[in-house]
Structure 1
Amino acid sequence: MSIRKKLLLSYIAMIVVPIVVFAGTGAILVSLVINNQIGPATVGILGDVKSMKEFRANLVQLSEWEGGLKFIAEHEPQRLEDESYLREIEETLTTLEMAIVVEKNAAPVYVSPWFGSGYTSNELMQALHEGGEGWNDNELELGGNLYSADKKEFIAQDGSDATLYVIQEDRISDTARWLFFAVLAFVVLVVAGTNGFLTFLVSRSIIKPLHQLKAAAEEIKDGNLDYELAPRKKDEIGKVGESFEEMRLRLKASIQAELQAEENRKQLLANISHDLKTPITAIIACTEGLRDGIASSEEKRQQYIGMIYGKATHMDGLIEELFLYSKLDLKRLPFYFEELDLNAFLEAYVKELGHHPQYQNVQLTYEGPAHAVLVEADREKLGRILNNITSNSVKHLDKAEKTIHFSLQEHQQNQEVEITVSDNGRGIGKEALPLIFDRFYRTDASRSTDTGGSGLGLAIVKQMVEAHGGMVEARSVQGEGTSIHFTLITGTKEKGERHDEAIDH
């Protein structure tokens, strides 16, 4: 999930979760109130009641008494001046925590005892008169206590103006105030808890991968390219982590390739020095022999000259192969592809090879299909591939009956053909077999050049086959022989296709 989507969902949750909690809590409270399931500990703030049912009954009774007293003030005002009646109802009023004040000519003539004992007449009348003319269901504050007060004006028996005040404890205001602060605290708690929890989750999903990324960067900065970063998230930071890990792998591969290239350069210099030193030493020895008159006869002189020519020719071949390999390695050798009949090409090549003096004692055979096999290939490079393979094979033939067999097979499902060159030579060991296509690799540990090899022949084969879009591999059994297999694709290439621009030397 993307970070944007996480933030969007968290914002929605910050709004929806509190609403759902409020709605659910409210529904539960309403249900408890309706079903009278709220106990004394919860309703204690409403007064000396033991249940919501009792609280509702008190409210109904208070309303009935308030209405009844107003009715008496309007229709039987004389009863409000009857002390015996007032004492009679006072017990009920005290139980209900309700009080009455009868005022006549702006002076109190009766005040409920439980209520009036705490205040002076002046304090009481001043508080009652602050309400003004339209005072109804107003709040009355005395001594820090809140009361709800209602009044009813009437005419006394003697015709003077009188007023009845019905006063009761303001339980509703207290309850509303308590509920307000309770709801406010609940809102703050739910919103803060929801926001805090969601913020923790979202920030953790962002900060933790960043810490991992930072740790990986520190490790790589210190040179530890083996420190693996395995991002588990699929968000933007996870993608950054994947890119970072890919960068680490590429950097590691690049450094390894650079180190390998440096090692190859050192090995190349050592190989060139070794392979050039031997013929140069021989040439120097022969020239010194000619100069010092050691070759006293014409026959010896011709022998020395022949040795010089042979070593110089060998050096020229080695340098030519080095130059060829370097152009292949730099992708600077031009390839000119043309359509050719590979079957006819191989058949002609094997016949021509039979006339070469190097293969006079070798039995050369070819096996191919009876029809033309068309491929797009560079004729010259294909001949060079076959020459390098066969010259490598003939050097390692150690049996009395020497054979080199060529075969061509079609693999139409892969749109490719496979050429195989197999011999019955001494074979190659399992340890050496994967290395024979490496440059300057020779199976003999002494790196002898007696056979005339440069160690680049099969490396050039690999480069040229891959330039044709094919693959090459070797199979061998020691004591029985070796076979080199390479493939060419049968798909067409643009004629004259090159790797890069040719280098003219």
Structure 2
Amino acid sequence: MSMTIKKRMFISNILMIIIPAFLAVIILAGCLFIFLASMFPHAEYRLGFQEELTETRYEVVELVREWLDKADPETEAELLELVQENRLTLQIYQGQQIIQRFGDEVLPQKQLEQSLVALDGSGTVSNGTFALFGEQLLLDGKTYQIHIYNPVVILSHDRLKLWVVGIGFFMVVVLVFIIFITNRFLIKFVFKRISDPLQTLAEGVHQIRDGNLTHRIFYSGEDEFKPVCEDFNEMAERLRISVVQLQKEEESRKELLASISHDIRSPLTSIRAYVDGLLDGIADTKEKQKAYLGIIQKKTSEIDQMVKKLFLFSKMDIGEYPYSPEILDVSKEMEDFIAASEEEYQHRGLKFQNVSIPQESFICADPTYFRSILTNLLDNSAKYKEKETVSVSITGERLAHRIMVYVDDDGPGVPEDALPKLFNVFYRNDLSRNNPNQGSGLGLAIVAKAVERMGGAVHAENLPQGGLRMVLEFPTVKGE
């Protein structure tokens, strides 16, 4: 199971305290051991204070008294253990003869013994190396002399101070070294889990910077870097989509400029030709002159209509075209529109065969936008018809909180691969754009923008029996 960076940092902080403290205690204990071993070479006994030494001496004397009185093996064993435990040397004299010795043998200390004699055999004397404690016992009319030797340790104040300073300096140096080593270990323990993902992220950033937008980071850890890497991949994908979109938009702009140039140049060329014809006297009769002027007027009108549509689309594209939504009854709006424009479309070869929209189907939309949608769809059917009269039907149905409007015609339809492109700016099924009667390719683009502004969607599909269906989808609202 992977450990998060937060947990690693917590453990690192704890170890930063525990490890140096633990090792410092161990080293300090070692230094004290070396100090005691060198300063007190004979101090294996546990007598650290004079009071304890005095008590132990008298305890030995009492055990000797008991042992001499009873000769009890248990008392002898206890006496031997006490002497050995405290690294003492016990000698028991009767007269000038040693009758028993317990503990380590020591070299004869004549000077100490003579000094003790001067004290009548009882007391303590020392020569700086050994201390001799003496005591006389009288048992059953017999006199026994007890001698207890113990080593004497003398540590001067200056020497002690020197040792303390030396140990302190040594401990500081060792502690710094321990902290350094601990730091190195913890850096490897904690920051390696940080540096590796950072390096991976840096490599990913370099890949994106160099244009490789398909580069993705694969990170298997379960720590704080996982969501960062996931966000990086999401950012890279969004950036890739944005770049692709920009490329498409750039291509669309180029196509737009090429289409505008072609669609404006064609009528301008015709206008120029007919103007030259008038100036050169080719139209030598009033009838020809009138015909030439009529053609010029028609071409001028085509340019004007294209510029108006281009202006409308541009304003809608950047969201600056006025939009004043209100509650509309789709059925009523459709009836009013057909009543106002049916005669005009009949003259253009369109026949309304069926208009059926569910009653009280309300949408929130700008009436101007809604009429613009219908106008451009019907204009599209009129422009691309291949027979004298084309039948158009407008039907609808309600689906949950949406209403579907179908505008069908029995015209030629379009190739399947052209269906997704119909709503692109300046797209025309006539790729050579040689047929001037097929418009500029702006009408359906305006329809798409208007429907999008109204919160709906539009797409085209070919009918099985032939012809084209425009499918409009609008969200419904409650009527007033």
432 and 111 in structure 1: CA distance in 2 versus 1, 3 angstrom threshold: farther
Q: Which residue is equivalent to 1:162?
A: 146
- Alpha-carbon distance in structure 2 between the residues aligned to 1:125 and 1:274: 133
Cα offset, 1:339, TM superposition: 2.3
1:491 matched to 2:473: no
1:291 to 267, 279, 287: 279
Q: Quote the residue 1:73 is aligned against.
A: 64
Over residues 451-482 of structure 1, what are the superposed CA-to-partner deviations in whole Å (9 max), with x where a residue is unaligned? 24111111110000010111111111587111
Aligned 8 A contact 1:342 1:374 in 2: yes
Aligned-residue offset at 1:403: 1.2
The 8 Å contact of residues 89 and 103 in structure 2, kept in 1 or not, is answered as no
Where 1:431 maps in the other structure, the secondary structure is: helix
- The whole-number CA distance in structure 2 between the counterparts of 1:154 and 1:385 is 134
Preserved contact between residue 101 and residue 166 of structure 1 (Cα < 8 Å): no
Equivalent residue number for residue 453 of structure 2: 467
Structure 1 residue 447 displacement after superposition: 2.0
Give the aligned CA root-mean-square deviation in angstroms: 4.7
**How far apart, in 2, do the equivalents of 1:422 and 1:410 lie?**
17
1:280 to 2:268 alignment: yes
Is the Cα–Cα contact under 8 Å of residues 366 and 406 in structure 1 kept in the other structure?
A: yes
Measured in 2, the distance between the counterparts of 1:150 and 1:246 equals 90
Q: Which runs of 5+ in 1 are unaligned?
A: 18-67, 136-140, 143-148, 168-190, 496-505
Normalization by structure 1: what TM-score? 0.65
Residues 230-271 of structure 1: CA deviation (Å, up to 9, x unaligned): 455565444443443344334334433433333332222211
Question: What secondary structure sits across from 2:455 in the alignment?
Answer: coil
Q: Does 1:207 align with 2:209?
A: no
8 Å contact 1:350–1:366 — kept in the other structure?
Answer: no
SS of 1:451 mapped into structure 2: helix
Residue in structure 1 matching 2:466, options 475, 480, 484: 480
Structure 2 unaligned residues grouped into runs of 5+: 20-58, 117-122, 152-178
CA contact (8 A) 1:73 1:153 kept: no
How far apart, in 2, do the equivalents of 1:203 and 1:7 lie? 9
> How many residues were matched structurally?
395
Q: How does 1:255-274 map to 2 (within 5 A)?
A: 255-274=243-262
Query: In the alignment, is residue 454 of structure 1 matched against residue 440 of structure 2?
Result: yes
The 1:257/1:380 distance shift into structure 2, 3 A limit, reads same
SS of corresponding position for 2:436: coil
Q: 1:258 to 1:374 in 2, by over 3 A?
A: closer
**Secondary structure of the structure 2 residue equivalent to 1:397:** coil
Contact 1:421 1:485 in 2 (8 A): yes
Opposite residue 226 of structure 1, the aligned amino acid is T
Please give the secondary structure, in 1, of the residue aligned with 2:340. helix
Which residue, out of 320, 339, 343, partners 1:355?
Answer: 343
Report the CA distance shift for 1:454/1:400 in structure 2 as closer, same or farther (over 3 A).
closer
**Cα deviations across residues 285-333 of structure 1 (Å, max 9, x unaligned)?**
0000010011111111111111111111111111111111111111111
Name the SS of the counterpart of 1:354 in structure 2.
helix
SS at match of 1:332: coil
1:137-286 alignment, distance < 5 Å: 155=137, 159=143, 161-164=145-148, 202-232=190-220, 235-286=223-274
Indicate conservation of the 8 Å contact 2:207/2:213, yes or no: yes
Kindly indicate whether residue 91 of structure 2 is the aligned counterpart of residue 102 of structure 1: yes
- 8 Å Cα contact 2:356/2:396 also seen in 1: yes
1:277 counterpart SS class: helix
CA distance 1:73–1:387, change in 2 (3 Å): same
**Alignment pair present for 1:120 and 2:107:** yes
Contact 1:361 1:402 in 2 (8 A): yes
Distance (whole Å) between structure 2 residues aligned to residue 424 and residue 209 of structure 1: 62
Structural mapping, 1:337-348, within 5 Å: 337-348=325-336
User: 1:108, 1:430 → 2: CA distance?
Assistant: 133
Q: Does 1:7 align with 2:9?
A: yes
8 A contact 1:283–1:308 mirrored in 2: yes
Equivalent pair of 1:154/1:162 in contact (CA under 8 Å):
yes
SS of the residue corresponding to residue 423 of structure 2 reads: coil
**Whole-Å Cα distance in 2 between the matches of residues 491 and 152 of structure 1?**
119
Task: Provide Cα deviations, 1:398-451, integer angstroms capped at 9, x if missing partner.
Answer: 35662111112222x2x2211110111111222111111111111122123422
Q: 1:329 aligns with which of 309, 317, 325?
A: 317
Number of the residue aligned with 1:425: 411
Corresponding residue to 2:422 among 424, 436, 447? 436
- The 1:290–1:375 alpha-carbon spacing in structure 2 relative to 1, beyond 3 Å, is same
Contact 1:72 1:79 in 2 (8 A): no
Is contact 1:393-1:423 (8 Å) kept?
yes
Which stretch has the larger CA shift, 215-224 or 402-411? 215-224
In structure 2, do the counterparts of structure 1 residues 433 and 71 end up closer, same or farther at CA, with 3 Å as the change threshold? Answer: same
**TM-score, normalised relative to structure 2:** 0.68
- Tell me how far 1:13 sits from its aligned partner: 8.5
- Equivalent residue number for residue 26 of structure 2: none
Alignment partner, residue 47 of structure 2: none
Q: Classify 1:150/1:341 alpha carbon distance in 2 versus 1 (closer, same or farther; 3 Å).
A: farther
Aligned positions of 1:368-407 closer than 5 A: 368-369=356-357, 371-399=359-387, 402-407=390-395
User: 1:429, 1:478 within 8 Å by CA — same for their partners in 2?
Assistant: no
Q: Distance in 2 between matches of 1:108 and 1:329?
A: 128
Compare 226-235 and 315-324 and name the one that shifted more.
226-235
Structure 1 SS opposite 2:472: strand
